[in-house]
Amino acid sequence: MEQLHGIIRNYDWGSKTALAQLSGRPVPSIEPEAEMWFGAHPGSPSLLGNSVDPSGTNTSLLDAIEASPRAALGANVAERYGRLPFLLKLLAADRALSIQVHPTKQQAEEGFARENAEGVPLDAFHRNYKDDNHKPELLVALTEFRAMAGFRPIKRTLELLDTLGVGPLTTATEALRNDPTSAGLRATLEGFFGLERTEVSSILDALLPRAREIASGTPGQSKWMEQTLQGVVKIAEQYPGDVGILVALLLNHLALQPGEAIYLDAGQLHAYLDGLGVEIMANSDNVLRGGLTSKNIDVAELMNLVTCEPLDDPTLRPAAGGHYITPAPEFDLQRLDAGATLAVNGPAIVLSVDDSVKVDGSSLASAEAVWVGASDEPVEVAGRAFIARVGCQS
């Protein structure tokens, strides 16, 4: 067992308070802190050791695994994946993230090879595929966490559009009215992305006053509709004139409570809006964006990847023992509550979310983590923590 130091990623949608408060550091931070990575992704591998040496002498988890993969991962995981197959994060959103989608494994391999053959540098602004892996992901809320996840059932979307009753928007969603299927959803999404900026502005000028009216609360109004339009109004304040505001009308709007989660597979359109959570995913950084961002947008590639089947209820709750059950073989995430104790075998990462956590009797402060290698002795964990393991090890 070794202490594992997370690497902070600074993005403009991050928070200057959430990660700093969780870590017990001064608030506010100098820059927005969006994510803290715990893992062995080449983009930001975590560091091992009792403390971080500013001169750079710490061994990264990536280097440690590459030096001795069987000892670190175990024979089965090393044979199947050749690397730590998951990436664990703390995620702190103060404003909406991009409307995005992730590729399948095959799409990632093809896209990564294609951009390599084209000579696109890995750090190029317009690079889509940073690695050859897919990115199924699970996010568990630590605070109330608002997100958009998957397309809303079409019947409800048509109900929302009818309630809004905005002429230019009705025209822009005619494809969905004429064909209330996933094909109609795809045509509507393509239509939104194909609008000129002046056309988007014209629709928003008509839409937003009505959206604010409904979002403020109307007697007899559906709660989900109020919640959706509150999200739309807030996004419009953060990204004025962005086509992503229109796309947000098509998506499920969720307000996760602490302990609740969402699982998102390849092709599912989504965007996190605000809150603090623990996120685990296959070890990848592949993101295709369509709006609500200053980063590269590639609508054509996003449309190649997106799945337009509605997602009825993407909310996930822990099963017995605190496990969040997903179909992803790369990871398993387990929540340990205060007062509980658990023996943990490697390979695993133990992440504390409370100052009361102890690992083998030693204190682990909030937002600190330890790495347990496959060849290490099992460790005993007590207190509020998350344990990240490989989902399928055979």
Summarised one tens digit per residue, pLDDT across range 243-253 is 999 999 999 99
pLDDT above 70 for 234:
yes
Query: What does the pLDDT read at residue 393?
Result: 65
Residue 313 forms part of a structural domain: no
Residue 31 annotated as binding?
no
Q: CB within 8 A of 322, min separation 6: which ones? A: 334, 335, 336, 337, 340
Among candidates 336, 362, 349, which has minimal Cα distance to 388?
Answer: 349
Q: Are both 368 and 336 inside the same structural domain?
A: yes
Q: How far is 118 from 381, CA to CA, in rounded Å?
A: 48
Query: What does the pLDDT read at residue 217?
Result: 82
* Residue type, position 270, single letter: H
Residue 368 forms part of a structural domain: yes
CATH number, domain at 275? 2.60.120.10
Q: Are both 333 and 291 inside the same structural domain?
A: no
Q: Are both 263 and 245 inside the same structural domain?
A: no
Evaluate whether 369 touches 352 at the Cβ level (below 8 Å): yes
Among 208, 226, 250, the domain boundary falls at 250
Q: Catalytic annotation on 212?
A: no
> Helix (H, G, I), strand (E, B), or coil: what is residue 385?
strand
Residues 52-105: tens digit of each pLDDT: 888 788 999 999 999 999 999 999 999 999 999 999 999 999 999 999 999 999
Q: Are both 331 and 347 inside the same structural domain?
A: yes
Q: Are both 282 and 135 inside the same structural domain?
A: yes
In the chain, the number of structural domains is 3
Q: What's the CA dihedral at 112, 118, 119, 120 to 10 degrees? A: -60
Q: Are both 33 and 126 inside the same structural domain?
A: yes
Q: Residues, the chain, total?
A: 394
Among candidates 212, 288, 225, 234, which has minimal Cα distance to 253?
Answer: 225
pLDDT above 70 for 394:
no
360 DSSP assignment: T
* Residue type, position 267, single letter: G
Q: How far is 125 from 345, CA to CA, in rounded Å?
A: 40
Number of H helices, E strands in the chain: 13, 22
Residue 365 forms part of a structural domain: yes
Residue 40 forms part of a structural domain: yes
Among 250, 273, 288, the domain boundary falls at 250
At 161, list the tokens.
């559009």
Q: How far is 334 from 248, CA to CA, in rounded Å?
A: 31
* pLDDT band at residue 268 under the 50/70/90 scheme: very high
Q: Are both 211 and 347 inside the same structural domain?
A: no
Q: Are both 138 and 279 inside the same structural domain?
A: yes
Residue 305 forms part of a structural domain: no
Q: Are both 172 and 61 inside the same structural domain?
A: no
Residue 314 forms part of a structural domain: no
Q: Out of 83, 95, 146, 289, pick the active-site residue.
A: 289
At 35, list the tokens.
């994510």
Among 226, 250, 274, the domain boundary falls at 250
Tell whether omega for the bond before 347 is within 30 degrees of 0, i.e. cis: yes
**Phi/psi at 180 (nearest 5 deg)?**
-75, 60
Q: Are both 50 and 192 inside the same structural domain?
A: no
> Helix (H, G, I), strand (E, B), or coil: what is residue 80?
helix
Residue 41 annotated as binding?
no
Choice between 392 and 210, residue whose per-residue pLDDT is larger? 210
Residue 394 forms part of a structural domain: no
Domain with 226 in it: 151-250
Q: Are both 9 and 40 inside the same structural domain?
A: yes
Residue 144 forms part of a structural domain: yes
Which H helix or E strand runs over 30? none
Q: Are both 90 and 200 inside the same structural domain?
A: no
Report H helices in 118-222.
Answer: 154-164, 167-172, 174-178, 182-193, 197-215
Determine the average pLDDT of the residues in 42-52.
91
Query: What does the pLDDT read at residue 322?
Result: 95
pLDDT above 60 for 106:
yes
Tell whether omega for the bond before 28 is within 30 degrees of 0, i.e. cis: yes
Mean pLDDT of the chain: 95
Question: Tokens 């929540």 identify what position?
Answer: 335
At 361, list the tokens.
């009797």
Q: Among 34-38, 56-60, 370-374, name the one with the lowest average pLDDT.
A: 56-60
Q: Residue 387 half-sphere exposure, CB side, CA atoms within 13 Å?
A: 27
Residue 21 annotated as binding?
no
